[in-house]
Structure 1
Amino acid sequence: MTAPDRYSLPEGVVGLNGPVDKPAPGTLPLRGDLAHIALAQSYLAAHYVIPQPRAVGASPATLKLNMRDDAEDGTTLPAGQAIELLDCAGDWAWITCGPEGPSGYVRLGQLAPVIDA
């Protein structure tokens, strides 16, 4: 798999020097266990993921800060918005608009269907 053209994969040894401030929930696509591959040179995570291009479905989708329907709301994305799928767990998808965010959780059914070429 290759990363989308708008950012490059890190090369060489990746490491951090000094403390790093933890971003607010719903901003950068970064969790303790997983992060967007474009953040590898700036943030430490157990794993980095190359996102899969997807889109929001026919209705706007409000990002949740946790995988719960009653979780705090984040940004609302318009119908058809291009997004990057980072992780799936049960009926939830962790998505982002790119390495700069925003990020959050939506139900998988809120994403447009994948069309096989």
Structure 2
Amino acid sequence: MKGPVDRPAPGTLPLRGDLAHIALARTYLAAHYVIPQPRTIGSEPVTMKLAMHDDADPGAELPAGQTVELLDCAGDWAWVACGPEGPSGYLRLGQLAPASDA
């Protein structure tokens, strides 16, 4: 990397100061990079949040059954992305379909 890189807007790329999608390692600096785990949105559509609280600004809307990439969990919240280009955001773990035992 050469020189400063503009930080993307919240809810776009899966990038935080502490963690980023592994596909962004060549472009963005983060303390850690994560290999995402595929998960599926449950039976109801969801609106991602830009922060881990219920009254946070809304992000992208995702339809029921859409595959997402799980990047991090904290308490009852999951940080997910629709791929390395985003969008990304937070949702409640209960809004994801149960993980398969494959």
Q: Please state which band the TM-score falls in when normalised by the shorter chain.
A: over 0.9
TM-score when scaled to structure 2? Answer: 0.99
Secondary structure of the residue aligned to 1:86 is strand
Larger of the two Rg values belongs to structure: 1
TM-score when scaled to structure 1? Answer: 0.86
2: CA distance between counterparts of 1:114 and 1:84? 12
Point out 4+ residue stretches in structure 1 off by more than 3 angstroms: none
How big is each residue's C-alpha offset from its partner over 1:64-101, in whole Å with a ceiling of 9 and x where there is no partner? 00000000000110000010000000000000000000
Listed as ranges, the matches of 1:1-117 within 5 Å are 16-117=1-102
Secondary structure of the residue aligned to 2:94 is helix
**Structure with greater strand percent:** 2
Q: CA RMSD in A?
A: 0.5
Structure 2 unaligned segments of length 5 or more: list them: none
Structure having greater relative contact order (Cα 8 Å, sep ≥ 6) = 2
Structure 1 unaligned segments of length 5 or more: list them: 1-15
1: CA distance between counterparts of 2:83 and 2:11? 12
> Aligned pair count?
102
Identity level (%): 76
The alpha carbon displacement at 1:49 in A equals 0.1
